[in-house]
Structure 1
Amino acid sequence: MGPTYRRVGEYLAAEPVRISAVLRLPLIVLIGVLVWIWEVDHWLPEVYAAILGLYAVAAVAWLVAVLRGPVPRWADWASTGIDLVVILALCLVSGGATAALLPVFFLLPISVAFQDRPLLTAAIGTLTAVGYLSVWVFYSKHDDRMGMPNMVYTHFGFLVWLAVATTVLCFVLVRRQDRVQALQAVRRQLVSEAMQSDERHNQEIAEGLHDGPLQTLLAARMQLDEVRERSPDPDLDAIYETLQDTAAALRSTVTELHPQVLAQLGLTPALRDLVRQFESRTRIAVQAELDDVGKPDSQQLLYRAARELLTNVSRHAQASTVSVRLGRIGNRVVLTVADDGVGFDPAVVPQYVSDGQIGLGSLLARFDAMGGSMLVDSSSGSGTRVTVTSPPEQS
């Protein structure tokens, strides 16, 4: 089924983890710079260097992993928990370096504040404040000359306040996210109802054309054929050909309005029939790899997308070959239409809409509203590849 296209929604869901992974690298650099500038004497310099070095290597590896592949749900709290453990370990083995590392404690709660888990944010903030105080207690017991400065309690109070503030901030962001998702759900419902109404309307028109004008036209053609048999006439032959072409065009219109093969057999047979018609009409070779996907909920939208994309190829692409692929990835159906034509700039699609050419722009809007996606990859002279991903199927 070709390359797996990750959903935009899944990417955005993992965005906080990726942001944390990026911000972690300059934080490690700042830790190294702070200790180097302060020229502290470490209690365990080899252990300190080993921990910081392994932390840096792990941070780079983690950044590469989250940028390349899917991010598990536990990654957001696990990565931040490791940050806290490493900072505590560095403090415990670095003696006077503790003073240089203390500002880092104030950065840890902020690193999770933009995630969508208030309880996780509260837990990290609380652990950070307790860890800060524990480090000072450890050194006050280890070095009698150090003691417990009053500023420690002030800093501890600031960290507690920061934990509360970031938790409230995260809670507010989650509530706003829930509101946005609710509005998106309403939007999807409205678009779905509009599409169903549109489909019912098309079906009614198709049935009306099939049972009315098309049948009348076919009857007239049969009567004319009988007249031609009794009295051959070139003029009658011309009229017969015109009636035959009109009937074929009307039948094609009925099929476009409401393809019976789609309703009866499902998406894959309907696309095979669509590809066959495209090849016979345009003489463009099509390489089709169509897996059986049954009758997905969004088959009307996917069929419409395939028809619109193939129409665009025949009108604008100047292509010699076209590739059409259909298959499932998880609970979604993925359709890919690629050609070796002249290509175009995808940035002009919004301009097409403003100019009244709403075909491709309408598809983009419909898939976005329904929770699917439509990725257009094209450039001048390099052909075009459009990957359409359906909304998730209801389990």
Structure 2
Amino acid sequence: MNAGAAGAAPPARRDAVRVWALIRLASLPAIFLGERLVAHPSPRSEPFGPLLVAATIYALIAYAVAFGPGSRRLPVQLLAALDIAFLCALTYTSGGPFSQLRYAFFLLPIGAALLLRPLLTATASLLVVLAYLGIALLYPTENASDFELTQALYLLWMGVVAVLLSRLLVRRADEVERLSADRGRLVAQALDAEDRERRRLAGALHDEAVQNLLAARHELAGGGDLAFVQHGLDRTIAQLRDAVFDLYPATLDHAGLAAALEAVAEHAGRRAHFSWQVDVDPDAIGLYDALVFSLARELLINVANHAEANSVAVRVRRLPGELQLEVADDGRGLDPARLRSAPLEGHIGLASATERVEALDGRLEIAAQPGHGTLVRARLPVRSVAAADTARPGDGRR
């Protein structure tokens, strides 16, 4: 059923038209065999042959156009009218309400559902029931009302199913579109955040490290105080170490997950003045080290930037079937409404963490109340060590 496809998005309409073109062509042999091989009343069957030839020509033309460059300009309303007209005429001339072609009526609501239009599907389903009842009333039969009523009820039932299917497909399509838009926005915001971080790092190196080195060189050239020079070099070394740590702490590669988490917690705690505690289950090491470290660092950065916490606890555990990362703080907590709107305002840390966890069929849970701290728990499925290996290229395992 192609009616109303013009209102659908062009790719969806084009795909639906093409699928229906294939269904239309594939139905012709079944129509022919059903009329020839199955006994049925035949008081008005003379026009069946010419009608089937005409329907075949129409189906071939519609197929060629649907798969050609002009598919977007198909007169879909006309195609829908021709579909119903040919179906009714062929059914009427091949046994009326007893025709094997009556089963084709069941396909029309499904075809309408492909267009992701529940109202259109309901309309098509009603027209199908009315068309079948019209054929039954016009065809000369005796004592067949119960059979015809039963077939009409089956068609009505199929129509209800098609409407529910169409609504489900619409919801799925909307969800896919929303996820695609969210992912695109996250990618754009991640790139913007990366650019801002690079600018911040470049500015810090230029304004602090480079200026300290220039001052030290100037002091040496003028035979100045060596203690001043040494102090400037020490500050520069500390600044460079902080910059390197912000880019990627080498501790993960050299000392493992526990030491890397302690280093990043210490770095964040020194910056935001909170105490910290890290507890890593030895059985959890070597599964998702790179991801766990990345998530923990992102969460600790969030705590340092926003939580105003006095203490933070990081815990990594291996449980039956899953690995858990928990980051808990006693800060000011999170407002749920603020949490939902954060990605729209450019704060993508938690949204990005959620994307990475869900990409591995995991879950990110956030328990927070304003003024009562925040607990973020990442649950990562652990089916086998081999499966985890495939999910973390270059994870820095010991």
CA radius of gyration, larger in: 2
Using structure 1 for the length normalisation, give the TM-score: 0.45
